[in-house]
Amino acid sequence: MAFTLPYAITLEVGSSLENKTGDWRTERPVYLDRLPPCNIECPAGENIQAWLGLTQEGKYQEAWEEILDNNPLPSVHGRVCYHPCEDGCNRKQMENPVSIHAIERFLGDQALKNNWVVSKQADTGKHVLVVGAGPGGLSAAYHLCKMGHKVTVVESKAAPGGMMRYGIPEYRLPRDILDAEVKRIEDMGVTFKYNTRIDNLAATMKADGYDAAFLAVGAHLARKLEMPSDDSVNITDAVTYLNDIEANDSKPQLGKKVAVYGGGNTAIDVARSALRLGAEEVTVIYRGPQDKMPAHLFEIEEALEEGIKIAALRTITEYKGGNIIVEVNEMDADQRPQATGKTETIAADAVVYALGQLVDSSLLSDCDGIVENDNVIEVGQQMMTGMDGVFAGGDMIPSARTVTTAVGHGKKAARYITAYLKGETYTPAEKHETASFDKLNTWYYEEENMRQQPVLDLDKRKSTFGEVLGDLDEANAKYEAIRCMSCGNCFECDNCYTVCPDNAIIKLGRGNRFQINYDYCKGCGMCVEECPCGSMLMEPEEL
Amino acid sequence: MSTELKPDFCQTGNLTAGNRLQSIDVVSVQSTEDRANALTSGHRACQGCGEALGARMAIDKVMELSKNKVHVVNATGCLEVFTTPFPETSWNVPWLHSLFGNAPAVATGVQAALKAKGMEDVTVIAQGGDGSTVDIGFGCLSGMFERNDDVLYICYDNEAYMNTGVQRSGATPPTARTATTPLSGPHPGNNFGQGKNVPKIAMAHGIAYVATATIANVRDLEAKVAKAMSMKGARYLHIHVPCPLGWGSLPKDTIKLARLAVESGLYPLFEGEHGEITGVTKIRKKVPVDEYLKLQRRFVHLFKKGADTEDLAGVQAIADAHIKYYGLLDDGEK
């Protein structure tokens, strides 16, 4: 074009656009989305990063709706979930993780305050039975209802929630929160039948014309232990005790000195409840060392703060004269507790066994094809039991036995059931590769510590069932959300656009990310190197 | 527990060029869709060129603040050659090239001509690499300072004559290998105790404004351009621009090197007015000079078996001296 111009006098402005420097490239940068570790770890399959992103922008309702795509109980989860997401959080490798649970709780509570609701799909004409109104059943009922099915939930107890009500003490989960989140599911059109026990599933399904069923009856039978006793120490179990606190008007009294046998979260729940109901001395007896207790560390710490004692490396051998006789254990070379023969006594009015729970599968006695193995029900890839159209989840199938796991089962089962009702097979989408810490350029993140939830006064914690952990206010919840590094997914920091020496990145406007202009990209790779969150990659150019 | 939220706080603070969470007034011009792209695509700079980036960052900010009323005078050097190979130019601004050594004088003339024509609202920029600034055009530059002509001079310092094949300049750091400072003798590479510190020399002229900047911190760079633009008379901005070709570094590491130069203390970020230092940009995460040097083949001999450790220690001593002289670390930090 420009050869008609006289030499070295005037050149047309910006005329170098003729020169397509993209031909120099041997590697090309591409944008991609990686799966952040929080999302990977979430048993309910929440897209945590997405709702943190919306929270950062102050779009709380949209953030809540994003949670509700996967989990109908954010207020509950913000309180009782053990947040494996935070264990996975890449921020943990810088200072400390994002307080995801506290933000979820904030969003969940905003929804309850403002009566936010979700919409559901057109009626399918199918009717699904859900057995059990625990987290698994509630989740399945919610998702099935959202997908347009008619849903009936049958529950043997007088109120919904399962272990969330009859296992988790009120100081961790206030009942008005649980009730409000269940009511939202009820208001969507799910029918609940309480105080109703199904004795024969096959007959019920046939009689009432159900097209499919989801079983989530939980594990409500306490594991027992036989021990020599002179009956001077009262013996009960965690399931009965925690149930009685919730179900009976007169709270159960165990006496002044209470011992709990077991090292899991349930044992801690029992110990802290007994303290609140007037016990003066509460001891948790565990056969292994304290640092190997299966209970979560923060629960153990909170219990210790409240004055609970832990007798680790002790095994109960006998009850005699108002005392528990325990044998002292020692760790052997393989890090397993071994009895030493040495005994001690712990004075106690009562002992509560918190040794794990079993599944009551009596309702399946007449169901052909359902296989029970080691006290849990076997399910296939599609979460269907051996009986056609009957699916199962929650504590009654092999699982981690947490509220969140059960909610995840409920969601997955709803998808499989919907596909089953259409005569199809549901295949989950393929997962993106992991956005591991090494994919980040952490230079670009400010180091900011986690905002802590307020904690109830110790005096009140020892005498009431008031909620121990408080709320983050809006400013702090938003702040926490902003600590999210958006691992693996572009959050529009504009670095790639800015560091390109060849102006080969096109900014598409806020919310629309970027595009690469391969006509001019020389493939230097600076954009990829300076991307904070690892949402870019260099690929070999086809030569 | 504090509930204070910094306005426009985002997960990256002000460390990234922009952010969707920040209002448009606080992000860098570079991060906005309507930046001028004073230096457009199709130029022939190498992959990962720091100078192309530095020039676009600086001139785009000038364009924004001057409402596109800018004249640029360019000395000979890489920037001139790779942006204007006949018959093309990558410049989207009025741009003039004369000789290697006379850019400051030409800019003085342009400014005088504009004044004569009553066009005093036009900003005049003179720019060049370290060769033209530190060595060849230094006399003209000093004259421009001394006369206090109303010109903002920007030096893009890549620490050698890259355009002609990586020969040593007065800005080449000690121990660096160039075509004219080969690896021979007991202390291979460039000598200690030579070269010129032009930002300090500019300060000694007592001119209105002197600042050093880096392409690794675009917000800092733009703030310094804005500060310079707010003043009249001779002003000087020195921008450190890594050169993958001349330094023997990976093109993708250009920003990283610019960052490590600052974080190691080898390239102090400061600004001064009328001969006095008025501010420094503190080191955020201090690193030993090794981290910076190891990414560059021009320093590879410092890390070879049997290398004289005195040389590496000498480079570290320069960084330490900068840290002390400019106060680059927060109090109590070492």
Residue B4 maps to a domain: no
Average pLDDT over residues B137-153: 98
Cβ atoms of B139 and B178 within 8 Å: the answer is no
* pLDDT (0 to 100) of residue A248: 86
Look at residue B1 in the predicted model and tell me its pLDDT: 37
Question: Is the pLDDT reported for residue A480 higher than 50?
Answer: yes
The reply to whether A222-356 shares the fold of A37-117+440-482 is no
> Do A43 and A400 form a contact (C-beta atoms < 8 A)?
yes
Element of type H or E holding A268: helix A265-276
CA pair distance A499, B50, nearest whole angstrom: 9
pLDDT at A254 over 80: yes
Closest partner CB to B40 (pick from A16, A476, A511) = A16
Asked if B1 lies within 8 A of A57 by C-beta distance, the reply is no
The amino acid occupying position B284 is R
Is residue A475 pLDDT above 70, yes or no?
A: yes
- Nearest CB among B90, B244, B253 relative to A529 is that of B253
B28: left (phi over 0), alpha (psi -120 to 50) or beta: beta
Mutate to test the interface with A, among B41, B256, B285 (most CBs of A within 10 A): B41
Backbone φ, ψ for residue A454 (5° rounding): -65, 150
Which residues of B fall within a CB distance of 8 Å from A509?
33
Q: What is the mean pLDDT of chain A?
A: 95
Nearest residue, CB atoms, A7 vs list B15, B86, B253: B86
Instruction: Report the chain B residue with the minimal C-alpha distance to residue A57.
Output: B21
Q: How, if at all, do strands B95-97 and A150-154 pair?
A: unpaired
For residue A10, what pLDDT is reported? 74
Residue among B17, B91, B93 whose CB faces A498 most closely: B17
Q: What percent of chain B is modeled with pLDDT above 70?
A: 97
Among B253, B221, B312, B191, smallest CA distance to B50 is for B253
Contact A496, A451 (CB under 8 A): no
Q: Do B40 and A503 touch (CB under 8 A)?
A: yes
For the CA atoms of chain A, what is the radius of gyration? 28
Strands A514-516 and A505-507: antiparallel
Helix (H, G, I), strand (E, B) or coil at B187: coil
pLDDT of residue A12: 85
Looking at this protein, which amino acid is placed at residue B314? G
Structure-token match 């001593």, residue found: B317
- How far apart (Å, rounded) are the C-alpha atoms in residues A442 and A440? 6
pLDDT digits (tens, 9 = 90+) for A28-81: 999 999 999 999 999 999 999 999 999 999 999 999 999 999 999 999 999 999
Do residue B83 and residue A484 have CB atoms under 8 angstroms apart?
no
pLDDT tens per residue, range B207-226:
999 999 999 999 999 999 99
Query: B38: nearest CA in chain A?
Result: A14
Contact A461, A306 (CB under 8 A): yes
How high is the pLDDT of residue B2? Answer: 42
Confidence at residue A180, expressed as pLDDT on a 0 to 100 scale:
98
Taking the CA of residue A438 and the nearest CA in chain B, the distance in Å comes to: 16
pLDDT tens-digit map of A136-173: 999 999 999 999 999 999 999 999 999 999 999 999 99
Count of C-beta atoms within a 10 Å radius of residue B78: 26
Structure tokens at A226: 């036989």
A261: which residues sit within 8 A by CB, 6+ positions away? A225, A267, A285, A286, A316, A351, A352, A353, A354, A355
Q: What local confidence, expressed as pLDDT, does residue B3 receive?
A: 46
If one counts the domains in chain B, the total is: 1
Q: What is the dihedral of CA B136, B138, B143, B144, to 10 degrees?
A: 100
The yes-or-no verdict on residue A3 having pLDDT over 60 is: no
Give percent of chain A with pLDDT exceeding 90. 92
Q: List CB contacts (< 8 A) between A515 and chain B.
A: none
Most B-contacting residue of A5, A12, A16 (CB-CB within 10 A), to test interface: A16
Rounded Cα gap, residues B240 and B154, in angstroms: 11
Return the residue in B47, B92, B218, B284 with the most chain A beta carbons within 10 A, the one to mutate for interface testing. B47
CB A253 within 8 A of CB A344: no
The three-class DSSP label of residue A183 is: helix
Report whether pLDDT(B5) > 90.
Answer: no
Q: What is the least distance, in Å, from the CA of B263 to any CA of chain A?
A: 11
The predicted structure's pLDDT at residue B25 = 87
Any idea which residue has 């090239």 for tokens?
A: B97
Nearest-10 Cα torsion for B44, B50, B51, B53: 80
Please name the residue that has the structure tokens 């810088």: A94
Tell me what pLDDT residue A250 has: 84
Chain A hits for B12, CB-CB cut-off 8 Å, are: 444-446, 493, 532
Rounded CA-CA distance A394/A359 in Å is: 11
Task: State yes or no: pLDDT of A2 exceeds 80.
Answer: no
The answer on pLDDT for A100 being more than 90 is yes
Phi, psi of A131 (to 5 degrees): -105, 115
Is pLDDT above 70 for B267? Answer: yes
Looking at residue A166, its pLDDT comes to: 96
A492 and B18 in contact by Cβ < 8 A? yes
pLDDT value of residue A363: 87
Residues from chain A contacting residue B255 (CB–CB below 8 Å): 499, 526, 529-530
Q: How confident is the model over A370-422, as pLDDT tens digits?
A: 999 889 999 998 999 999 999 999 999 999 999 999 999 999 999 999 999 99
pLDDT for A6: 56
Range of the domain at B293: 38-326
Contact A526 B255 (CB under 8 A): yes
pLDDT of residue B4: 53
Within a domain: residue B260? Answer: yes
- Give the closest-approach CA distance of A494 to chain B in angstroms: 5
Considering only CB atoms, B40 lies closest to which of A3, A14, A511, namely: A14
ipTM here: 0.95
Of A5, A21, A532, the CB nearest to B16: A532
Identify all chain B residues contacting A454, using CB atoms and an 8 Å cutoff.
1
**Quick check: A486 and B28 CB within 8 A?**
no
Quick one: pLDDT at residue B31? 96
Whether A501 sits inside 8 A of B45 (CB atoms) is yes
Among positive and negative, which fits the CA dihedral A301, A466, A245, A280?
positive
CA dist A484 and A38 (Å) reads 10
pLDDT band at B334 (very low <50, low <70, confident <90, very high): low
Closest residue in B to A525 (Cα–Cα): B252
CATH of A37-117+440-482, one of 3.20.20.370, 3.60.15.10, 3.90.1640.10, 1.10.1060.10: 1.10.1060.10
**Domain range list for chain A:** 2-33+490-540, 37-117+440-482, 127-219+359-421, 222-356
For A222-356, CATH number out of 3.90.1150.10, 3.50.50.60, 3.10.20.740, 2.60.40.1930 equals 3.50.50.60
Nearest residue in B to A22, CA atom: B42
Residues of chain B with Cβ-Cβ distance to A491 below 8 Å are: 11, 19-20
CB-based contact B17 A499, cutoff 8 Å:
yes
User: How many pairs of residues across A and B have Cβ atoms under 8 Å apart?
Assistant: 184
CA distance B136 to chain A (A): 22
> pLDDT tier at B98 (50, 70, 90 boundaries)?
very high
What local confidence, expressed as pLDDT, does residue B7 receive? Answer: 56
Considering the domain boundaries, does residue B30 fall inside one?
no
Nearest residue of B to residue A499 by CA position?
Answer: B53
The two tokens of residue A112 are 């309850």
Contact A446 B45 (CB under 8 A): no
Residue whose structure tokens are 């021990």: A227
Any domain includes B9: no
Q: From chain B, pick out residues whose CB is under 8 angstroms from the CB of A27.
A: none
Smallest CA–CA separation between A401 and chain B, in Å? Answer: 35
Among the partner-chain residues B21, B89, B254, the one whose CB lies closest to the CB of A57 is B21
Classify B228 as helix, strand or coil. Answer: helix
> Encoding tokens for residue A117?
């609701």
Q: Which residue of B has its CA nearest to A509?
A: B33
pLDDT of residue A8: 54
DSSP at B134? I
- Considering only CB atoms, B20 lies closest to which of A12, A503, A510, namely A510
Q: Determine the Cα–Cα distance for residues B152 and B239; give it in Å rounded to an integer.
A: 13
The answer to whether the CB atoms of A2 and B17 lie below 8 A apart is no
Is residue B31 included in any domain, yes or no?
no
Closest CA to A421 of A210, A139, A137, A159: A210
Strands (E), A348-452: 350-353, 357-358, 372-373, 376-377, 390-392
Question: How far, in Å, CA of B43 to CA of A231, rounded?
Answer: 92
In CATH, the architecture of A2-33+490-540 is 2-Layer Sandwich (3.30)
Which CATH architecture describes the domain A127-219+359-421?
A: 3-Layer(bba) Sandwich (3.50)
Residue of A nearest to B218 (CA): A498
Q: Is residue B160 part of a domain?
A: yes
Cα Dmax for chain A: 114
Confidence at B8, pLDDT banded by 50, 70, 90: low
- Which residues have C-beta within 8 Å of that of residue B135, sequence separation ≥ 6? B169, B170
Using an 8 Å CB-CB cutoff, list chain B residues near A504: 41
Distance CA B334, CA B232 (A): 38
Q: Which two tokens stand for residue B226?
A: 């804005």
In a domain, B112, yes or no: yes
Rg of chain B over all Cα atoms, to the nearest angstrom:
20
What are the φ and ψ backbone dihedral angles of A175, each rounded to 5 degrees?
-70, -25
Q: Which of A3, A484, A499 sits opposite B87 (nearest CB)?
A: A3
Task: For residue B132, give the 3-state DSSP assignment.
Answer: helix
Question: Cβ contacts (< 8 Å) between B253 and chain A: which residues?
Answer: 529
CB–CB contact B1 A452 (8 Å):
yes
Residue B334 domain flag: no
pLDDT the model gives residue B332: 59
Whole-number pLDDT of residue B24 = 87
Contact A482 B16 (CB under 8 A): no
Cβ contacts of A458 within 8 Å, gap of 6 or more: A305, A306
User: What does pLDDT average to over chain B?
Assistant: 95
Q: Which residues of A touch B57 (CB under 8 A)?
A: 498
Cβ-based burial of A114 (10 A; exposed 0-12, middle 13-18, buried ≥19): exposed
A452: DSSP letter: P
**Long-range contacts made by residues B176-183, C-beta under 8 angstroms, separation at least 24?**
B176/B298, B176/B299, B177/B297, B177/B298, B177/B299, B177/B300, B177/B301, B178/B246, B178/B298, B183/B301
Q: Which residue of B has its CA nearest to A5?
A: B87
Cβ contact B171:B134 at 8 Å: yes
Give, as one character, the DSSP assignment of residue A107.
Answer: H
Q: Which chain A residues touch B40 with a CB distance below 8 Å?
A: 14, 16-17, 503
User: CB–CB of B251 and A532 under 8 A?
Assistant: no
